[in-house]
Amino acid sequence: LSADVNAPIVQYVARPQILDLGWGHPTPATLPTDAWAQAVQVTLSTYGWQAMTYGRSVGPGPLIDWLAEHIGTVDSQPCRTSEIFVTAGASHALALVGQLLVQPGDVVLVDAPTYHLAFRIMRDAGAELVSVPTDDQGVDPGAAEALICHLRRTGRRVSMLYLVPTFGNPTGRSLPAERRSSLVEVCARADVTIVEDDPYREIGFDGPAPGSLWCHSERSGIVRLGSFSKTVAPGLRLGWINASAGLITKLATLGYVDSGGGVNHTSALTMATFGASGAYGRHTDMIRRQYRLQRDSLVAALRTTVPDVPIAVPAGGWFIWMELPGGLTAAELLPVAEQTGVSFVEGPRFFCDRAGGSHHIRMSYSMLPPADLTEAARRLGVAIESRG
């Protein structure tokens, strides 16, 4: 698991003394190196030069076709090929959507808490971020509408609302179905584009995931970001956007997309092979079992090692969001925890204004094997106990 220090390759930094629940990265052993090498070989021999030259702007036909069928199955609703644009990952998708929809100085509303690294992407597009009102179930649609009206009365442009509504980062929770419909209606009325970041949908442990906001909508005024980073491998830099055919055309005619012949052609065509061959289905079945096992290990251990803390068990995704007991803050706990050999991400990082989450921590069970998760929970219990 160690990277060469003189020529670092990966984002992950190993700290040998610490079981680090801070990384939202895949379990290394699950990454499909052999199956991907095989898919590359098949792709290059099947498509030859077409796999390596300038590609189609929206993405190669075979991947768009496979995605349309696959998304239709996942959503239990048909997906049109005209509503798909292949991206270099969900972060890249968010950067492109921000470039098209956000004018410098616009307000972009963001869930609170939500995926912290998305903040900088939207700020790079010139957005001013404002937390949307939430409660324990997630975004409150009525309060969101009131906030949008208030901001507009003060002369602000409000262009987008960003959230991860399904098996979300950092909470692991999903927005209830009635709020989904209601939020879609509110934003359609207010002409605010919903950006639904949806990378965890296919990592559900207890039956099908809640229907996407995209499927709750009339399929305009909403952009859904799909990703292969959690289901296959983040290093491939592949994902997709579901949006209206009009927005897809705007994406495909961006100067850089047109000049480059799509954003990641060879890898995208390889993913078509990986999907059509059945490797995608086999791989996602395997990782669902694996991540379920890891979730179960961490949840079971925490129930023993921090018995006084109620654990909201995530039905999918990679994360547990835990409130610390006895008024303890994440900032107080972190140095003690690291001394005890365990780490996590402090709650405030997931609020755009850092105004919430001071008593919460995010723990990821995605990267460590079950035995390490059990030991990490033990160390966390010791650290919390020592501050009690």
Minimum CB separation of residue 67 from its own copies in Å reads: 12
Is 245 one of the binding residues for its own copies (CB under 8 A)? Answer: no
- Alpha-carbon distance values, 343 to 96, 163, 334, 363 (Å): 33, 26, 7, 8
Q: Which 8-state DSSP code applies to residue 246? A: H
Stretch that binds its own copies, among 131-139, 183-191, 234-242, 300-308 (CB under 8 A): 234-242
Cis before 170 (ω within 30): yes
Instruction: Please name every residue paired with 134 in a beta bridge, in sequence order, or none if there are none.
Output: 139
Which residue's entry shows tokens 């590359």?
40
Is 353 one of the binding residues for its own copies (CB under 8 A)? Answer: no
Residue in 232, 368, 344 with CA at minimum distance from that of residue 288? 232
What string marks each residue from 7 to 36 as x (binds its own copies by CB under 8 A) or -? xxxxxx------------xx-xx-xxxx-x
Is 293 one of the binding residues for its own copies (CB under 8 A)? Answer: no
Is 45 one of the binding residues for its own copies (CB under 8 A)? Answer: yes
Element (H, E) at 255: helix 255-260
Is 57 one of the binding residues for its own copies (CB under 8 A)? Answer: yes
Is 200 one of the binding residues for its own copies (CB under 8 A)? Answer: no
Is 260 one of the binding residues for its own copies (CB under 8 A)? Answer: yes
- Is the Cβ–Cβ distance between 203 and 167 less than 8 Å? yes
Is 259 one of the binding residues for its own copies (CB under 8 A)? Answer: yes
Minimum CB separation of residue 32 from its own copies in Å reads: 8
Which residue's entry shows tokens 């009206």?
149
Minimum CB separation of residue 375 from its own copies in Å reads: 21
Residue in 30, 35, 28, 32 with CA at minimum distance from that of residue 11? 28
What string marks each residue from 59 to 78 as x (binds its own copies by CB under 8 A) or -? -xxx-xx-------------
Q: Which is nearer to its own copies, 182 or 264 (CB)?
A: 264
Residue in 165, 160, 224 with CA at minimum distance from that of residue 190? 160
* Residue of the chain from 216, 237, 362, 379 that contacts its own copies (CB under 8 A): 237
Minimum CB separation of residue 162 from its own copies in Å reads: 12
Token reading at 111: 């869930």
What string marks each residue from 173 to 192 as x (binds its own copies by CB under 8 A) or -? --------------------
Strand 319-323 and strand 360-364: the pairing is: antiparallel
Q: Which is nearer to its own copies, 115 or 321 (CB)?
A: 115
Q: Which 8-state DSSP code applies to residue 348? A: G
Cα 247 from Cα 96, distance rounded (Å): 11
- C-alpha torsion angle, residues 106, 112, 114, 117 (rounded to 10): 50
Q: Which is nearer to its own copies, 265 or 379 (CB)?
A: 265
Minimum CB separation of residue 153 from its own copies in Å reads: 26
Minimum CB separation of residue 264 from its own copies in Å reads: 5
Q: Which residues contact 337 (CB under 8 A, 6 or more apart)?
A: 343, 344, 379, 380, 383
Is 50 one of the binding residues for its own copies (CB under 8 A)? Answer: yes
Residues 318-337 that bind its own copies (CB under 8 A): none
Q: How many residues bind its own copies (CB under 8 A)?
A: 74
Cα 301 from Cα 328, distance rounded (Å): 20
Is 357 one of the binding residues for its own copies (CB under 8 A)? Answer: no
Cα 112 from Cα 350, distance rounded (Å): 7
Is 261 one of the binding residues for its own copies (CB under 8 A)? Answer: yes
* Residue of the chain from 37, 177, 331, 371 that contacts its own copies (CB under 8 A): 37
Minimum CB separation of residue 126 from its own copies in Å reads: 9
Residues 145-174 that bind its own copies (CB under 8 A): none
Minimum CB separation of residue 42 from its own copies in Å reads: 9
Q: Which is nearer to its own copies, 236 or 320 (CB)?
A: 236
- Report the chain's C-alpha Rg in angstroms: 21
Q: Which is nearer to its own copies, 197 or 202 (CB)?
A: 197
Longest dimension (CA), the chain: 64
Q: How far apart are the first and last CA of the chain?
A: 34
- C-alpha torsion angle, residues 155, 158, 159, 162 (rounded to 10): 160
Residues 78-137 that bind its own copies (CB under 8 A): 88-89, 91-92, 94-95, 99, 104, 117-124
Is 388 one of the binding residues for its own copies (CB under 8 A)? Answer: no
Is 44 one of the binding residues for its own copies (CB under 8 A)? Answer: yes
Angle at 354 between CA 350 and CA 360, to 5 degrees: 55
